[in-house]
């Protein structure tokens, strides 16, 4: 049974890897009339729609457990209604991820799929930083060293070996800001998940509902009301749905993987994401994958593996 669960974890991790790798390709293939704000708004709307049945199924299972397992009813009741206790935090998540979702698409458009995907790997550095500052997790000298090496690999790739920081595309900086927002929110959510007061599915569904409200209510402040017609364009709808499906099933596969294997193993399995994105971007988008990109990606992947293995130990 243990071996079967391990295989399931591997398969879900690989599925997540593939889905992560096609997201920037879908994003940068969209029609030019779809701005990042609109794309983010429609993506989170479809994510909420896709996660809604999962949310209902989970709540039904929790209610059934409360009825059939009275000794654990208090714990399950807390999980069922924990969102009421953390309303302010969920509102923060709604705003945080709404901003991050827009920046995510802006970064890929400005930096290109290859450079932006490499920059997104800085999430592991912010994970260490916020884990230390917020959750009081230990950081080793080795992790600090390889975080610096990771940044070296990123700089090598993005500047094409010149190490001129002025060569950094603004999209790279925007992606780094995006990973900052991601990991800040994840680090704040970790204690709540640990106390079993909210589940991953609840957080994803509720945050996407709130993301949708935030983005829809503010979109027309920045864009003309005529843009509403872009939503009903059949071709645009295809790209909205594709991204919503890719994003949703990526999250689903990731959380399923974590239910079967430890986070360090899953993280290592998805670490080749930048190279896979580079292959797809070269073939489909016509981006140029240079030797500096390759060397930088290898340095980043090795750094991630060392950091997560050290964290696991």
Tell me what pLDDT residue 65 has. Answer: 82
- Per DSSP, helices labelled H in the chain are 2-29, 36-68, 73-85, 87-111, 113-119, 123-133, 141-158, 170-194, 200-222, 234-260, 263-270, 273-280, 291-312
Which 8-state DSSP code applies to residue 165? Answer: G
How many other C-beta atoms can be found within 10 angstroms of the C-beta atom of residue 161? 14
- Residue owning tokens 């580079």: 278
- Residue owning tokens 């096609």: 22
Rg of the chain (C-alpha set):
20
CA distances from 16 to 8, 64, 99, 270, 276 (A): 12, 30, 23, 7, 12
Tell me what pLDDT residue 72 has. Answer: 67
- Rounded (10°) CA dihedral 301, 163, 181, 15: -30
Tell me what pLDDT residue 220 has. Answer: 92
**Sequential pLDDT tens for the chain (313 residues):** 568 888 888 999 999 999 999 999 999 999 999 999 999 999 999 999 999 999 999 888 888 887 777 766 777 777 888 788 888 999 999 999 999 999 999 999 999 999 999 999 999 999 999 989 998 888 899 999 999 999 999 999 999 988 887 767 899 999 999 999 999 998 888 888 778 888 888 888 999 999 999 999 999 999 999 999 999 999 999 999 999 999 999 988 988 888 788 777 888 888 889 999 999 999 999 999 999 999 999 999 999 999 988 765 5
How many other C-beta atoms can be found within 10 angstroms of the C-beta atom of residue 30? 21
Which 8-state DSSP code applies to residue 161? Answer: T
Both tokens assigned to 56: 């209902």
Domain count, the chain: 1
Enclosing domain of residue 56: 2-312
What SS3 string covers 223-241? CCHHHHHHHHCHHHHHHHH
- Count how many Cα atoms sit within 13 Å of the Cα of residue 275 in the half-sphere of its side chain: 14
Nearest to 120 by CA among 67, 174, 184, 46: 174
- Rounded to two decimals, the pTM is 0.89
């Amino acid at each position: 049974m243990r071996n079967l669960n391990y295989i399931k974890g591997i398969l879900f991790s690989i599925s997540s890897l593939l889905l992560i790798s096609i997201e920037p390709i879908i994003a940068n293939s969209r029609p030019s009339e779809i701005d990042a704000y609109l794309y983010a708004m429609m993506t989170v709307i479809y994510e909420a729609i896709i996660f809604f049945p999962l949310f209902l199924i989970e709540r039904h299972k929790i209610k059934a457990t409360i009825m059939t397992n009275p000794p654990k009813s208090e714990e399950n009741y807390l999980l069922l209604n924990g969102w009421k206790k953390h309303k302010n935090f969920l509102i923060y998540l709604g705003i945080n991820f709404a901003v991050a979702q827009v920046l995510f698409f802006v970064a890929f458009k400005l930096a290109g799929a290859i450079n932006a995907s490499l920059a997104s790997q800085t999430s592991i550095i912010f994970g260490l930083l916020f884990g230390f500052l917020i959750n009081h997790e230990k950081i080793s000298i080795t992790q600090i060293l390889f975080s610096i090496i990771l940044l070296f690999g990123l700089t090598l790739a993005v500047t094409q070996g010149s190490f001129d920081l002025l060569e950094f595309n603004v999209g790279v900086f925007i992606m780094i800001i995006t990973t900052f927002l991601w990991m800040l929110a994840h680090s704040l959510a970790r204690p709540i998940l640990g106390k079993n007061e909210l589940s991953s599915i609840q957080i994803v569904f509720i945050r996407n509902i709130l993301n949708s409200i935030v983005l829809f209510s503010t979109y027309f402040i920045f864009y003309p009301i005529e843009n509403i017609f872009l939503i009903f364009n059949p071709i645009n709808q295809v790209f909205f749905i594709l991204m919503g499906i890719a994003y949703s099933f990526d999250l689903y596969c990731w959380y399923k993987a974590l239910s079967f294997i430890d986070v360090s193993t899953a993280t290592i399995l998805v670490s080749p994401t930048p190279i896979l994105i580079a292959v797809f971007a070269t073939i489909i988008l016509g981006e140029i994958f240079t030797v500096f990109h390759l060397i930088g990606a290898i340095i980043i992947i090795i750094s991630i593996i060392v950091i997560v293995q050290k964290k696991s130990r």
